[in-house]
Amino acid sequence: MSTPMIQISNLMKSYKLGGEIVHALNNVSLNIDKGEFLAIIGPSGSGKSTLMNMLGCLDRPDTGNYLLDGKEIGKMNDNDLATIRNQKIGFIFQNFNLLTKLTALENVELPLIYSGLSAKIRREKALESLTKVGLKDRAGHMPTQLSGGQQQRVAIARALAGNPSILLADEPTGALDSKTSAEILLLMKELNEVGNTIILITHDLSIAKQAKRMVQIQDGQLFENEGEQIGNLTIY
Amino acid sequence: MAILQSIKMALRSIKGNKLRSVLTMLGIIIGVSSVIVLVSIAQGSTTNVTSQINSLGTNLLTINTFGTNLSLTEDKINKLGKLSGIQALSPVVSGRISVKKDRTSSQTTLTGTNAAYESVRNTNVSNGRFLTDIDLEYRQKIAVLGATTAQNLFGTENPVGQYIQLNGNSFKVVGVLASKGSSMGQSGDDLVIVPLSTAERLVKTTSINQVYLQGKTGQNMDLVMAEVQNSMASMYPNQTDNYSVMNQQDLMSTMSSVSNTMTMMLGGIAGISLLVGGIGIMNIMLVSVSERTKEIGIRKAIGAKRRDILLQFLIESVVLSAMGGIIGILFGLGVGKILGSALSMTVTFSSSIVLFSFLFSLVVGVVFGVFPANKASKLNPIQALRYE
């Protein structure tokens, strides 16, 4: 068996909140292989966001190790983390987080700008990425001229543009109606089938169920019991 | 990330907020254009004065009297003309008189002098003739008019041969001087020149206010000046405080120090308004940073480094101030031109002041952009993403 793409072991992260120390992540260990479709489910306040920030290299753990493609993230400085985010992580947010003053194409180009590609290659890659999500013909539109589902597709195209190791989706359907949600989830499944590693973070069990593998986070601790009861939620 | 790309992004963001960008630039525009206008006017009058002084030649000495304690008399002054270094001299009696032609009347400067004045002061007659020795001898009631005075009294008519009233006495106009232009707000063309002997009667004085002396050559003027000072001291002992002997060099350095001070002062005042414009830029950039916190968060999440964000905001403020600078330069040149022709002032644009004020506006953009840009670059991406 090859080494997992993500190896997290004994991760600890705590915050001071009004003089009280909150253990947002308490001894979390998790391995994720290349090509997986993993859902992380948990109620608000469970440490879900902290885990996502950690996985997305936006934050560093207090103690513990996080190996991404064999590189230790915890020891990196801000600049190296930015490079890692740029090359290895594709973020998909709940409220899309597109830049409203840029067109769809320019939004998709943005991560490629920061990786220093030439304008021509950027354009090619961004168009290719938009084609993958089926929005090639909307390339020149501003985000405000697109529907919620289309905006999220542009955001997915942006996440895909740099050909990252993992797609990190934080409640990607949280701001969409159920029909559009289904479409987005279908797109993510398709992307997973062609080899993209996807980590889906949600509080919605029905959405988490779409993933191939599911872990639950509660009070900063991670549980993974396949086919068994997880907390007070029953799976399968 | 390429600088060109950053400039494109900055231009886009400036275009996205047109009104705000224009208002921000306004501070820089006003600053740069006022630096250019004020300094150009000051430099214009400097060059004007300098060229006027130069046109008199380097071999001119001037004796000025102060106060009423000392009265130079014509016969004593004429002795100075016998000094070896002196070619010619021309004493001047001056005063204010009223000049009248038909129903037009005005107050003007009366200059009573001799025939040598024409060559000593390098004065040219554009029409008619200048005073002659015989006019002085016979106390002729004739006058030579300055260009402006002639224009005021006669309009387009030819004044030569016509009569004007000086303090009620009728004088025949024999000539009109060529225009010398104005400097430091004083016209050199508004005057009436009459023979010295006639002027002494008109202003009822025999005391000479000023003497112009022409050296034989431009060389050794210091020596000639010492000669003049010596003989002045022997003719008027213990009066050295009441008169001064100056050569052109002295006059020039006095004038240039005055106009340099003026240039510095005007430039300084305008520079302050540029600084205030810079503070305006900083203010707007700070607002822009907090308004775009979310955008900064997104950019950081997808891989922008601190340097990228810093550059983005810094370039934005520099582009803003550079655009303000360019508009300000064009505006300043335009206003300078209009003022120059409307107020008939000499306005000298120097490329160095244009370049300086443009560079200064760039520096203002950098200096006042650094703080907001640094603030933006230091934002924590997690908090910035959460910001609404």
Is B209 found in the same domain as B353? no
Distance of CA B141 to the CA centre of its chain: 37
Is B80 found in the same domain as B216? yes
Q: Testing the interface with A: which of B3, B4, B293, B302 to mutate, by most A Cβ within 10 A?
A: B302
- Which residues on B lie below 8 Å from A99 (Cβ)? 295, 298
Is B277 found in the same domain as B230? no
Residue B260 or residue A198, greater confidence? A198
Residue A226, pLDDT score: 58
User: In the block, which residue shows the tokens 């990196």?
Assistant: A76
- Which residues on A lie below 8 Å from B16 (Cβ)? 101
Task: Dump pLDDT digits (tens) for A118-174.
Answer: 889 999 999 999 999 999 999 999 999 999 999 999 999 999 998 998 999 999 988
Residue B177 inside a domain? The answer is yes
CB-based contact, B5 to chain A, within 8 Å: yes
In chain B, where does DSSP find H-type helix?
3-16, 18-55, 74-80, 117-120, 133-137, 147-154, 196-202, 221-235, 248-291, 293-301, 306-342, 351-377, 381-386
Is B333 found in the same domain as B273? yes
Domain count, chain B: 2
Angle at B341 between CA B338 and CA B344, to 5 degrees: 135
Do A158 and A122 form a contact (C-beta atoms < 8 A)?
Answer: no
Structure token digits, residue A221: 């601790």
Residue B193, pLDDT score: 93
Query: Per the CB < 8 Å rule, is A82 touching B306?
Result: yes
Task: List B211's β-bridge partners, or say none.
Answer: B63, B91
Task: Dump pLDDT digits (tens) for A4-42.
Answer: 899 999 999 998 888 888 888 999 999 999 999 999 999
Is B224 found in the same domain as B95? yes
- Which residues on B lie below 8 Å from A110 (Cβ)? 299, 302
Helix (H) or strand (E) holding A27: strand A20-32
Task: Dump pLDDT digits (tens) for B121-156.
Answer: 888 888 899 999 898 889 889 999 998 888 888 888
Query: Per the CB < 8 Å rule, is B306 touching A111?
Result: no
User: How far off is chain B from A79, nearest CA to CA, in Å?
Assistant: 6
Helix (H) or strand (E) holding B193: strand B191-195
Residue A124: strand, helix, or coil: helix
Is B194 found in the same domain as B91? yes
Query: Per the CB < 8 Å rule, is B303 touching A114?
Result: yes
Is B185 found in the same domain as B332? no
- Which residues on A lie below 8 Å from B297 (Cβ)? 97
Query: Per the CB < 8 Å rule, is A79 touching B306?
Result: yes
Residue B243 inside a domain? The answer is no
Is B300 found in the same domain as B213? no
How far is Cα B89 from Cα B45, in angstroms, rounded to an integer? 28
Residue A236, pLDDT score: 40
User: How far off is chain A from B298, nearest CA to CA, in Å?
Assistant: 7
Residue B78 inside a domain? The answer is yes
- Where among B191, B211, B238 does a domain terminate? B238
Helices and strands: H and E segment counts in chain A: 7, 12
Size of interface A-B (CB pairs under 8 A): 61
Task: Dump pLDDT digits (tens) for B324-334.
Answer: 999 999 999 99
Is B17 found in the same domain as B116? no
B298: nearest CB among A87, A97, A119: A97
DSSP notation for B52-114: HHHHT-TTEEEEEE-SSS--B-HHHHHHHTTSTTEEEEEEEEEEEEEEEETTEEEEEEEEEE-
- Where among B208, B238, B268 does a domain terminate? B238
Residue B16, pLDDT score: 81
pLDDT above 70 as % of chain A: 94
Query: Per the CB < 8 Å rule, is A97 touching B294?
Result: yes
Query: Which domains, ranges and CATH numbers included, belong to chain A?
Result: 35-63+77-234 (3.40.50.300)
User: How far off is chain A from B255, nearest CA to CA, in Å?
Assistant: 58
How far is Cα B227 from Cα B80, in angstroms, rounded to an integer? 9
Residue B262 inside a domain? The answer is yes
Residue B187, pLDDT score: 64
Residue B212: strand, helix, or coil: strand
Residue A235, pLDDT score: 44
- Note the ipTM here: 0.91
Structure token digits, residue A37: 């479709």
User: How far off is chain B from A101, nearest CA to CA, in Å?
Assistant: 7
Residue B363, pLDDT score: 92
Buried b (16+ CB within 10 A) or exposed e, A17-50: eeeeeebbbeebebebeeebbbbbbbeeebbbbb
- Where among B203, B238, B273 does a domain terminate? B238
CB-based contact, B299 to chain A, within 8 Å: yes
Task: Dump pLDDT digits (tens) for B52-111.
Answer: 777 767 788 888 888 777 778 888 888 888 888 888 889 998 888 999 988 888 899 899
pLDDT of residue A227 exceeding 50, the answer is no
Residue of B nearest to A59 (CA): B382
- Beta-carbon count within 10 A of B376 CB: 27
| Strands, E assignment, A69-136 | 71-72, 89-92
Angle at B116 between CA B115 and CA B117, to 5 degrees: 90
Task: Dump pLDDT digits (tens) for A38-85.
Answer: 999 998 888 888 999 999 999 999 999 999 988 899 889 999 999 999
- Which residues on B lie below 8 Å from A97 (Cβ)? 294, 297-298, 301, 385
Low-confidence residues of chain B: pLDDT under 70: 1-2, 56, 181-187, 218
Reported as half-sphere exposure (CB side, CA atoms, 13 A), residue B346 has a value of 21
Ordered strands of the A20-32 beta sheet: A20-32, A6-17, A63-68, A71-72
Neighbouring residues of B3: CB distance < 8 A, sequence distance ≥ 6:
B311, B315
CB-based contact, B11 to chain A, within 8 Å: no
pLDDT above 70 as % of chain B: 97
Is B305 found in the same domain as B223? no
Residue B181, pLDDT score: 65
- pTM, full prediction: 0.73
Nearest to B194 by CA among B104, B305, B87, B117: B117
Residue B244 inside a domain? The answer is no
Is B232 found in the same domain as B259? no
- Average pLDDT of the residues of chain A: 89
Question: Residue B114 sits in which domain range?
Answer: 71-238
CA dihedral A61, A65, A67, A73 (to 10 degrees): 40
